[in-house]
Amino acid sequence: MSQFTEVRVPRAETVAIVLTAPNQVKLSGTITQKDPAQDLAGFFKALHNAALADKLSEVRADVSGLTFVNSSAIRLFVDWATWVKNERGERYTLRFITSRNVTWQKTSFMALMSLAKEVLAVEHVT
């Protein structure tokens, strides 16, 4: 049984979160609250741990519908990439599905790739 799909999805005011496949999470909306880690850090960590437990080779994080986020939210993606990068055992590729039309995604995922390109992939959709 997939642990990934059993992860409890948090309710957040401005962002819709859906687990759309045994290895995919989709986020859409905006994340601009003061401390987004309260809602999302534990959720991302649970997805990370579940992906390891399920021995997934890839996790897809579809953020193409996230139209705007603050830097505290970008920090959460940095943390997730860092957990995968620092994993000593079997690890998965963290693939971000991004939109070419959303400015923050172009700049921030470029920077994120430079940080952990051995475990990250960035895919662009329109």
Partner 1 sequence: METAENPPSAQKVAPYPLVFMRFRPAWAYIDGIREFGRFFCQTTFGTRELADRACVVLQETLENAVKYSSNSSDSELELSIESDGSSIEFSVSSLPDAAHLSSLREEMNGLSTLDPEQAYLAAFVRASNEPESSARLGLARIRYEGGVELSMQEEPGGRIRITATGKL
How far apart are the C-alpha atoms of 68 and 55, rounded to whole Å? 32
Least gap, CB of 75 to partner 1 (angstroms): 4
Least gap, CB of 38 to partner 1 (angstroms): 13
Nearer to partner 1, 5 or 30 (CB): 30
Nearer to partner 1, 4 or 83 (CB): 83
* Residues at the contact surface with partner 1, assessed by CB under 8 A: 30, 32-34, 68, 70-72, 74-75, 78-79, 81-82, 85, 103-104, 107-108, 111-112, 114-116
Nearer to partner 1, 20 or 107 (CB): 107
Cβ within 8 Å of residue 105, ≥6 positions away: 63, 64, 66, 98, 99
Residues forming beta bridges with residue 124, ordered by sequence position = 98
Residues forming beta bridges with residue 68, ordered by sequence position = 30
- Count of H helices and E strands in the chain? 3, 5
